């Protein structure tokens, strides 16, 4: 069978970008489509009028799948809990036929290596991987019984539940770090502030310093896009689309200088469109053009740095305008000035960063274990 044979409908989204209105229904764009789940952090939102206009071909409902046609191409998430969402550009709505396939199983099935290869085998272009609707509809499908599908999906969901719980803890740590940063470095209510003289917004013993004077910034290398692959050939690479998750499935067979190698725990920033900021959670990887790595010269400031650069970089995301999308450049990063304090103030940020990084690394291992189990369940190598 094909995917089209086991689904009630497979429809493309509107081929236009809806503006973020700040409130209303979640607008699901490709960055909001994770591996099996929707990522609603910082999601764009639209009014009911836009929701109705963009969902005329099909209203997304529970157990529908949303597949990304681009960046990250091949990712698929399932709608749960009655969430009303709006289809964004380059997404595809897939409605499984419940008499033929268990929706959760289908989501995992599409994410399995063989199906990803079928979808992406011809999609790795020099610029952006793109999956066409005919390829999606013609995806070959071999299914066990519904009962086996449900057992397999439930086994895999155990891993995803652990990952989701860790994600919640990560979010709490990030929120705590931002609150603490605002209290100490914006409102200047740091420990002992009552006894410290403040002149022109700078407490005694503190400094206003340029980011580039206290950190090294490494910009990505202009690799040959035609050598990119998802078959794990060569060296892992960090592209803009890999930064939100902190891990990558992208590789290149091209080699370059070691200065472009990024290590687990390094801070990475996307420089096109949305300027994503994250710590790297994967193995050593090459940094690709239009991304950068920021390494504080005092390693104990890393946790503080991850929080401190958020507002300045997001400011540029809102104000920098390019011909088509916003571009963050060296000229922008060179202007960033940070208020630095005494060394003991960085300690709680570093502790939160280390906990956050540990959870991210645990999630990477859980994802890898789940993905190793996935093809074995699909093939029947492991019986349930």
What is the per-residue pLDDT across 207-237, written as a single tens digit (0 to 9) for each? 999 999 999 999 999 999 999 987 899 999 9
**What CATH code is carried by the domain that includes residue 203?**
3.90.220.20
Q: In the chain, how many domains are there? A: 2
Q: Are residues 219 and 89 in the same domain?
A: no
Q: Is residue 150 part of a domain?
A: no
Could you tell me if residue 29 is inside a domain? Answer: yes
Tell me which of 142, 159, 175 is where a domain ends: 142
Which positions of the chain have pLDDT values less than 70?
122-129, 322-324, 384
Find, among 88, 87, 106, the residue nearest to 96 by Cα.
106
pLDDT tens track for 288-346: 999 999 999 999 999 999 999 999 999 999 898 765 678 999 999 999 999 999 999 99
- Please report whether residue 182 resides in a domain: no
Strand partners for 44: 27
Do 117 and 199 share a domain, yes or no? no
How far, in Å, are 121, 247, 343, 347 from residue 356 at the CA level?
35, 15, 21, 14
| Residues 210, 100 share a domain | no
In this structure, the answer to whether residues 334 and 203 fall within a common structural domain is: yes
Alpha-carbon torsion angle 38, 356, 294, 319, nearest 10 = 40
**Could you tell me the residue range of the domain that residue 287 belongs to?**
189-342
pLDDT at 299: 95
Do 63 and 126 fall into the same domain?
yes
In a domain, 113, yes or no: yes
């Amino acid at each position: 069978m094909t995917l089209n044979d086991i689904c009630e409908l497979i429809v493309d989204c509107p081929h236009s970008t809806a503006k973020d209105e700040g409130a209303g229904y979640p607008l699901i764009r490709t960055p909001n489509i994770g591996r099996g789940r929707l990522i609603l952090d910082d999601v764009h939102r639209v009014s009911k009028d836009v929701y109705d206009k963009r969902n005329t071909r099909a209203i997304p409902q529970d157990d529908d799948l949303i597949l990304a046609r681009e960046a990250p191409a091949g990712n698929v998430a399932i709608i749960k809990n009655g969430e009303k969402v709006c289809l964004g550009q380059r997404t595809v709505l897939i409605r499984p036929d419940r008499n033929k396939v268990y929706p959760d199983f289908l989501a995992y099935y599409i994410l399995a290596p063989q199906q990803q290869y079928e979808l992406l085998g011809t999609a790795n272009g020099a610029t952006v991987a793109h999956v066409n609707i005919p390829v999606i509809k013609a995806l070959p499908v071999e299914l066990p019984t519904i009962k086996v599908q449900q057992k397999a999906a439930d086994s895999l969901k155990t891993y995803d539940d652990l990952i989701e719980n860790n994600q919640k803890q990560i979010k709490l740590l990030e929120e705590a770090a931002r609150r603490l940063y605002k209290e100490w470095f914006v409102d200047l209510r740091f420990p002992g502030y009552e006894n410290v003289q403040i002149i022109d917004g700078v407490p005694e013993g503190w400094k206003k310093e340029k980011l580039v004077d206290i950190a090294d910034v490494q910009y990505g290398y202009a690799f040959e896009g035609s050598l990119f692959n998802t078959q794990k050939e060569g060296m892992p690479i960090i592209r803009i689309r890999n930064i939100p998750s902190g891990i990558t499935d992208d590789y290149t067979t091209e080699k370059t200088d070691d200065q472009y190698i990024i290590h687990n725990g390094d801070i990475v920033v996307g420089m096109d469109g949305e300027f994503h900021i994250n710590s790297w959670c994967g193995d050593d990887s090459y940094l690709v053009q239009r991304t950068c790595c920021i390494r504080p010269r005092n390693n104990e400031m890393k946790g503080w740095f991850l929080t401190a650069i958020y507002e300045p970089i997001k400011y540029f995301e809102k104000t920098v305008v390019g011909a088509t999308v916003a571009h963050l450049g060296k000229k922008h990063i060179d202007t960033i000035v940070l208020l630095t304090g005494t060394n003991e103030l960085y300690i709680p940020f570093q502790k939160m960063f280390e906990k956050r990084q540990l959870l991210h690394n645990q999630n990477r291992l859980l994802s890898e274990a789940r993905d190793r189990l996935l093809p074995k369940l699909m093939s029947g190598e492991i019986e349930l």
